[in-house]
Amino acid sequence: ERQGGMTEFAANSIYLQIRIQQIWIPLFNPPPPQKGKTDKEAKADFGKAVENILDKAKLHVDKIREKGGKVIFLRLPSTGQLREMENTFTPRPNFWDRILKTTGAPGIHFEDYEKLKGFDCPEWSHLNRKDASQFTKRLMHILAKHLS
């Protein structure tokens, strides 16, 4: 259930948290180059994929705006080794900043607001229920300013 929130067991079981953390590590490390490709070629392919994603994002944002909608990108918290990997392999200037610039849409990044900083994700990627509720309350005040 997507709206259910983190279970108390997941929020409190260090063993489950470590197990989940170990799932994130290979998912957030780039794969080796395809057979027959150099590192340089693989990096170029990755760059093309990023450009494709940015182009599609702009297309979708433009369609939403054409219908009178508003778009605000939201960067939710991540912590621990996952956040370190994100900063290493998908640095903010190359991804977050570029999607905002490409689409012209505003964004709310948890690291830009003192009220949204300092939350811990037990398994590096999701907030426990109590923190999720508190984060959402704080976020709503910021979001309201963007929508007014």
Q: What length is written for the chain?
A: 148
CA dist 19 and 69 (Å) reads: 40
* Contact in structure between 47 and 39 (CB atoms under 8 Å): no
Note the pTM of the prediction, 2 decimals: 0.86
Q: What is the DSSP letter of 75?
A: E
109-136 pLDDT, tens digit each: 999 999 999 999 999 999 999 999 999 9
User: Of the candidates 79, 78, 72, which has an alpha carbon nearest to the alpha carbon of residue 142?
Assistant: 72
Q: Tokens 């309201």 appear where?
A: 144
pLDDT at 28: 79
Question: 2 pLDDT exceeds 70?
Answer: no
Question: 80 pLDDT exceeds 70?
Answer: yes
CA dist 103 and 11 (Å) reads: 36
CA dist 99 and 110 (Å) reads: 16
CA dist 5 and 15 (Å) reads: 19
Lowest-confidence segment of 20-24, 27-31, 63-67, 84-88 by average pLDDT: 27-31
pLDDT at 78: 95
